[in-house]
Amino acid sequence: MSLQFDPGQKLRPIDFDSVGPAVGSQFPDIELPDQNGSVRSLKAIRGGGPAMIVVFRSADW
Amino acid sequence: MQLVELQEKVVGRSDVAVVGISYDPVEVLSDFAESRGITFPLLSDVGSRVLDGLGLISPVTDDDLEYWGFEKKQHHLRLPYPGVFLLDAAGVVVEKKFERSHRNRYSAGSLLEALGKSDSVSRVTATDTKSGVAVRASLANDAVFPNQVFDIEVSVAVTPGRHVYVDPVPDGYQALTIGIDAPDGVFWDPPELPSGHDIEIAELGERFRVVEGDFDVSIKTHIHESVKDVSVDVVVAYQTCDDVSCDPPTELRLSLSLTVRPKG
């Protein structure tokens, strides 16, 4: 058997249920400029379909 | 890199919209999108005003910085938790995929499956049957990135009229175990097994905890960047019985060959 090890376990635990909008709730509409400088709303981007919203820590590290 | 994989595996291949959000200025996102071929919107939240409003800003501790190996810099002090929100067509959050370590990200296949879009996913699958038990192991990716988190789904079907034991078992019996045998650098969490129900064999004066029928478990897995293409064996050990007799303890071993992609 390979070693069972999760690097995340070394860090203090976080209850992600309480981070950000809850499961079962409406995700708020947000408006921000995209990479082309055009202001976009989440609602318009989704266009009535499902979505993945990826929160990432900078493309520039 | 998660964003690059989402571009390849989701954009144009499903009806799921992909949206990135970070605190980078537009110019940084523009350069990034151009160099990596990202066509979905990358939203620029300079100052993290929107991320903060969503409750996604995390205080960073000295312990975190030491773990990550970073020098303390001003822009490290308040960072968003990295992760993914999955929204249904009505815009309701159906699942949140966050990991404590920023190094571990969910794969595009896992995210598509969580949204019920299995048809859009290339799977690697292995099946085998022995001693009245059929096992199917599969994962929602044909290639993985180092440190990406993916679930290996294991479906077990016990022939009607038979059962397998689960812990605790008396000495000499084999309880069901499901795990992974793989080279160093493949990390996995033991799956949660079904709890089963008790039966009593009057002739033996012994109680057993057993599972019957079909059940599914998932094994959360990730692969260290030092590992190249790898074969991961899902090992299911068990002993099947009916009301009268038992087969000897046995195991099924299902091999999944994974391509590990270079870091994006």
Pairing of strands B148-158, B105-106: parallel
Please, what is the average pLDDT of chain B? 87
B9 chain-A contacts, CB cut-off 8 A: none
Residue B178 confidence (pLDDT): 97
Residue B207 pLDDT > 50, yes or no? yes
pLDDT, tens digit (0-9, with 9 covering 90-100), for B167-206: 988 888 899 999 999 999 999 999 999 999 998 877 777 8
pLDDT, tens digit (0-9, with 9 covering 90-100), for A7-60: 444 455 667 778 899 999 999 999 999 999 999 999 999 999 999 999 987 765
* ipTM metric: 0.82
Min distance A61 CA to chain B CA atoms (Å): 10
pLDDT tier for residue B77 given thresholds of 50, 70 and 90? low
**Strand order across the beta sheet in which B177-181 lies:** B143-144, B250-260, B230-238, B177-181
CA–CA gap between residue B213 and residue B161 (Å, rounded)? 9
CA–CA gap between residue B240 and residue B98 (Å, rounded)? 38
Contact A4, B190 (CB under 8 A): yes
pLDDT tier for residue B76 given thresholds of 50, 70 and 90? low
Residue type present at position B131 = S
Is A11–B104 a contact, with Cβ atoms under 8 angstroms apart? no
A16 chain-B contacts, CB cut-off 8 A: 81, 83, 96, 98
pLDDT, tens digit (0-9, with 9 covering 90-100), for B21-57: 999 999 999 999 999 999 999 999 998 899 999 988 8
Min distance B205 CA to chain A CA atoms (Å): 35
Is B63–A12 a contact, with Cβ atoms under 8 angstroms apart? yes
Is B67–A3 a contact, with Cβ atoms under 8 angstroms apart? no
B241 at A interface, C-beta within 8 A: no
CA distances from B33 to A6, B38, B107 (A): 31, 5, 19
